[in-house]
Amino acid sequence: MSALEVAVTLRRGAFRRRLDLRVDGGEVVALVGPNGAGKTTALRTLAGLHRPAAGTVRLGGRTLDDVPAGAHVPTHRRRVGLVFQEYLLFGHLSVRENVAFGPRCAGLGRAAARRRADEWLDRMRLAGYAGRRPGHLSGGQAQRVALARALAAAPALLLLDEPLAALDAGLRPAIRAELRAYLRDFAGPTVLVTHDPGDAAALADRVVSLDRPDATGPPGD
Amino acid sequence: MRIPAGDLPGARRGRPRRTRRSRLSGAAVALAVAVAGCGAPAAPAGRLTVFAAASLTATFQALAGTFEKERAGTQVVFHFAASSTLAQQLVDGAPADVFAAASPETMATVTRAGVAAGPQTFVRNQLVIGVAEGNPKNLRSLADLARPGVAVARCAAQVPCGVAADRALRAADVTLRGPTLELNANATLTKLTLGEVDAALIYRTDALAAAAAVDAVDFPQSAAAATDYPIALISRGDRKELAAAFVALVTGERSAAAFRRAGFTTL
Amino acid sequence: MSRLLAVPAGLAVALLAAPLLGLLARAPWAALGHWWGRAETVEALRTSLLTASGATLVCVVLGVPLAAVLTRVRGWARRLLRVAVLLPLILPPVVGGVALLLVFGRGGLLGAPVYRWWGVSLPFTPGAVVLAQVFVGLPFLVLAVEGALRAADRRVEDAAATLGAGPWTVFRRVTVPLVAPGVLAGAALSWARAVGEFGATITFAGNVPGRSRTVPVAVYLALETDPAGAVALSLLLLGVCAVVLVALRDRWWGGLA
């Protein structure tokens, strides 16, 4: 019952493309394709940051988008975790407060949210960095914090946008293996986007290729 | 409703002002030169610069009209502002031929500096209680202004109209409740015409000029609050003769009616 | 290149510093204590600092959301808002004061019914001083915050939304801290502008000692009879503002920089 079922037309400006996708709970699907294929648009649409032009998005039986019926669940009510390519950690908060952000939004008290955050930091071997500001982390650490922050919010769907792209080439194999272990522990469906077939093969159970549907796609997408 | 025209509260209608008349008289100069051989009156042509208290604006402009008509080729350029502002400018070397002040104290700062000499008092202005038209709060005396719930505007003690207000209130032995102490006569009047206060201690001349919106209530102590207006020649002016003629017109018998119409008391 | 910049930069410094040096040159050093210690001076300074701080608070509470709106709207609405924000900068403060009277005065559009029904009127009160200061100070805050918002990476707001934060939580916990440096800079600017406010204050709030007489008004009055006193009061205002701004700068920005 926790599967993601997508049957939409993506929209970003003048760009349109069809996306049909089913991802089961515990399954990791990689969307690969060249720039302009609509990978990031797909993730942002699943997260509710863009509205699809047509179609439906369902998650575990819940309807997130139903364009014909005019239904759209806003991002903050979707329970969809998104790890951005640039991580987008909150620079004014400590690592612990970053991870506690989701639990706080879910209604946990300050102390309970911090305990939850500390558990996640422990699990991701970040306990020593709880008091730091994100600006003082290495790339790999920041990526783990971003993942911990997303998972601590207890999402029903996990989305990762180019999770390894911002890392030094030398670090990538080690972090890739680590990330794979974390993703395996996640019970819900996971969709990740990458332009690197190697990353896709290493991280995902299944790879879905998105080609460029036409030449009108926005550059840099 | 009346809105202050100046962009600084101190400058009541206070920019250097050239009337349309004086610009036209530029053409008159040309004409006078052209017809000089044909027996035109031999008046001294020239520009006369007069610094005058803002409350004199209307009357002085009317008098200048007469003056220019009688002396073809003459042009009177006025600078109307708060007299204290003008006095400061004169002491600092502003070029002028005549200074007419709204208080002897202000004139004294100029004569003491040796900038002007021989001041003559030509009119007197008195305070009245300005109230909204019809006097809705029925204010009849200075004592009425101290009633609770009566909002009053008056000039601050640092400016001539405030000195006069202090004198009047002392003579009446009245202390106002938290009046707003405005920076000049015009700002005081404006607070009344905009309806922000119930009463204002203003000059009779200002009350008359704003008669459409304001009623004036005389009070006995206003004699103690009379302000003399002195006029004097500026010592460094180079149009002494013309300046003296203008002063003579202002202080002379035939200007009295114009001043009285404006609300001044003539001597 | 640096030579090329040095000349106009030096001129700019001279232009800014010369009036200050003029004040210092004419300062009645021996009489400063007398002027600064007078009850009226202390009263005016207190009124100035309290009203300016109140005005700054209002500017922040109203101005930050306005700046956020400004970054979001497009087209004619944005142009209209922009003009509204810039208007107080262009308008001579005295005109602003008159405009405030025409709206909030006892005979004003909003002020008249309020006066008729409840018998209260705003002019000549500390509240009127605050309103006049907000009017002239708000643009500084809005422009500073809008600049900070545009410079910031707004996608962290998206990140917050994916973590379950609703629009208000995003604004409070992410947007505001994100632009905090801009807000602080804007607050400092609008506070400074409020402290120096004269034209709108004297026109709208009048000059009632202890209620609406601020230091700039006292300076103007002193100038009528005692220019030395005006210089002494001006120096007091400059000194207090410099101390306050420097102290706050260290406290607020020390941790962030």
Which residue among B151, B178, B183 places its CB closest to the CB of C202?
B183
Which residue in B161, B194, B201 has the most chain C C-beta atoms within 10 A of its own C-beta, making it the best mutation to test that interface? B194
Q: Is residue B2 part of a domain?
A: no
Q: Do B181 and C209 touch (CB under 8 A)?
A: yes
* Residues B217 and B237 placed together within one structural domain of the fold: no
Residue C1's pLDDT is 60
Q: Do B178 and C101 touch (CB under 8 A)?
A: no
Q: Do A88 and C162 touch (CB under 8 A)?
A: no
Q: Is residue C177 part of a domain?
A: yes
**Closest-approach residue (CA) in chain C for A150:** C163
Asked if residues C231 and C27 have their Cβ atoms less than 8 Å apart, the reply is: yes
C229 to chain B, minimum CA–CA distance in Å? 12
Q: Does residue B29 or residue B126 have the better pLDDT? A: B126
Tell me what the pLDDT averaged over chain B comes to.
83
Q: Which of residues 159-198 of C touch A (CB under 8 A)?
A: 159-167, 169-170, 173-174, 177-178, 180
3-class DSSP state for residue C33?
helix
Q: Do A90 and C169 touch (CB under 8 A)?
A: no
Q: Is residue B32 part of a domain?
A: no
Supply φ then ψ for residue A194, to 5 degrees.
-155, 155
Residue B55's pLDDT is 85
Q: Is residue C248 part of a domain?
A: yes
**Closest-approach residue (CA) in chain C for A133:** C256
Sign, CA dihedral B148-B153-B157-B160, equals negative
pLDDT tens-digit map of C210-233:
999 999 999 998 887 788 899 999
pLDDT tens-digit map of C14-37:
999 998 898 899 888 988 989 899
* Residues B216 and B248 placed together within one structural domain of the fold: no
Residue B82's pLDDT is 83
Q: Is residue B91 part of a domain?
A: yes
Choose from B19-28, B35-44, B235-244, C42-51 the range with maximum mean pLDDT. C42-51
Tell whether the model's pLDDT for residue C115 goes beyond 80.
yes
* Residues B141 and B207 placed together within one structural domain of the fold: yes
Dihedral angle over CA of A1, A24, A49, A17, nearest 10 = -120
- For residue C158, the chain A residues in CB contact (below 8 A) are 44, 47, 49, 75, 82, 84, 88
Arithmetic mean of pLDDT, B206-217: 92
Q: Is residue C15 part of a domain?
A: no
Per-residue confidence band for C4, with pLDDT thresholds at 50, 70 and 90: confident
Tell whether the model's pLDDT for residue B38 goes beyond 90.
no
* Residues B171 and B104 placed together within one structural domain of the fold: no
* Residues B105 and B143 placed together within one structural domain of the fold: no
* Residues B174 and B214 placed together within one structural domain of the fold: yes
Arithmetic mean of pLDDT, B131-141: 94
The helix (run of H) or strand (run of E) holding residue B110 is helix B104-112
Tell whether the model's pLDDT for residue B27 goes beyond 60.
no
* Residues B115 and B237 placed together within one structural domain of the fold: yes
- For residue C155, the chain A residues in CB contact (below 8 A) are 84, 86, 88
Residue-number span of the structural domain to which B91 is assigned: 47-124+228-266
pLDDT tens-digit map of C70-81:
988 889 999 999
Residue B8's pLDDT is 38
Q: Is residue C149 part of a domain?
A: yes
Provide the domain count of chain C: 1
What residue has token string 């990458």?
A194
Q: Do A153 and C177 touch (CB under 8 A)?
A: no
Residue B227's pLDDT is 87
Residue-number span of the structural domain to which C193 is assigned: 32-256
Instruction: Quote the DSSP letter at residue B226.
Output: -
CA–CA gap between residue A29 and residue A206 (Å, rounded): 5
Strand order in the sheet with B74-81: B16-17, B74-81, B46-53, B98-100, B227-234, B116-125, B265-266
Q: Is residue B197 part of a domain?
A: yes
> Within 13 A of B115's CA, how many CA atoms are on the CB side?
23
B182 at C interface, C-beta within 8 A: yes
* Residues B138 and B212 placed together within one structural domain of the fold: yes
Cα–Cα nearest to A7, from C62, B101, A18: A18
Q: Is residue B11 part of a domain?
A: no
Q: Is residue C238 part of a domain?
A: yes
Residue B123's pLDDT is 95
Which residue in C154, C163, C252 has the most chain A C-beta atoms within 10 A of its own C-beta, making it the best mutation to test that interface? C163
Q: Do C221 and B180 touch (CB under 8 A)?
A: no
Tell whether the model's pLDDT for residue A130 goes beyond 90.
yes
* Residues B183 and B155 placed together within one structural domain of the fold: yes
Arithmetic mean of pLDDT, C162-183: 90
Tell whether the model's pLDDT for residue B23 goes beyond 80.
no
Q: Is residue C4 part of a domain?
A: no
> Residue A106 corresponds to which tokens in the numbers above?
């879910």
Q: Give the chains touching C; criterion: ≥3 Cβ pairs < 8 Å.
A: A, B
Provide the domain count of chain B: 2
Which residue among A79, A84, A92 places its CB closest to the CB of C159?
A84
Q: Is residue C108 part of a domain?
A: yes
- For residue A93, the chain C residues in CB contact (below 8 A) are 177
* Residues B129 and B209 placed together within one structural domain of the fold: yes
Residue C248's pLDDT is 77
Q: With helix as H, strand as E and coil as C, how does C100-127 read?
A: HHHHHCCCCCCHHHHHHHHCCCCCCCHH
Tell whether the model's pLDDT for residue C131 goes beyond 70.
yes
| Assembly ipTM | 0.90
pLDDT tens-digit map of A47-100:
999 999 999 999 998 999 999 999 999 999 999 999 999 899 999 899 999 999
* Residues B58 and B151 placed together within one structural domain of the fold: no
**Closest-approach residue (CA) in chain B for C103:** B194
The helix (run of H) or strand (run of E) holding residue A72 is strand A71-72
Asked if residues A81 and C162 have their Cβ atoms less than 8 Å apart, the reply is: yes
Q: Is residue B19 part of a domain?
A: no
Asked if residues B45 and B29 have their Cβ atoms less than 8 Å apart, the reply is: yes
* Residues B189 and B256 placed together within one structural domain of the fold: no
Q: Is residue B25 part of a domain?
A: no
Per mean pLDDT, which range of A115-124, A189-198, A200-209, C245-254 is the poorest? C245-254
Cα–Cα nearest to B230, from B91, B63, B128, B110: B110
CATH number of the domain residue B212 falls in: 3.40.190.10
CATH number of the domain residue C241 falls in: 1.10.3720.10
Arithmetic mean of pLDDT, B195-224: 92
Per-residue confidence band for A1, with pLDDT thresholds at 50, 70 and 90: low
Q: Is residue B236 part of a domain?
A: yes
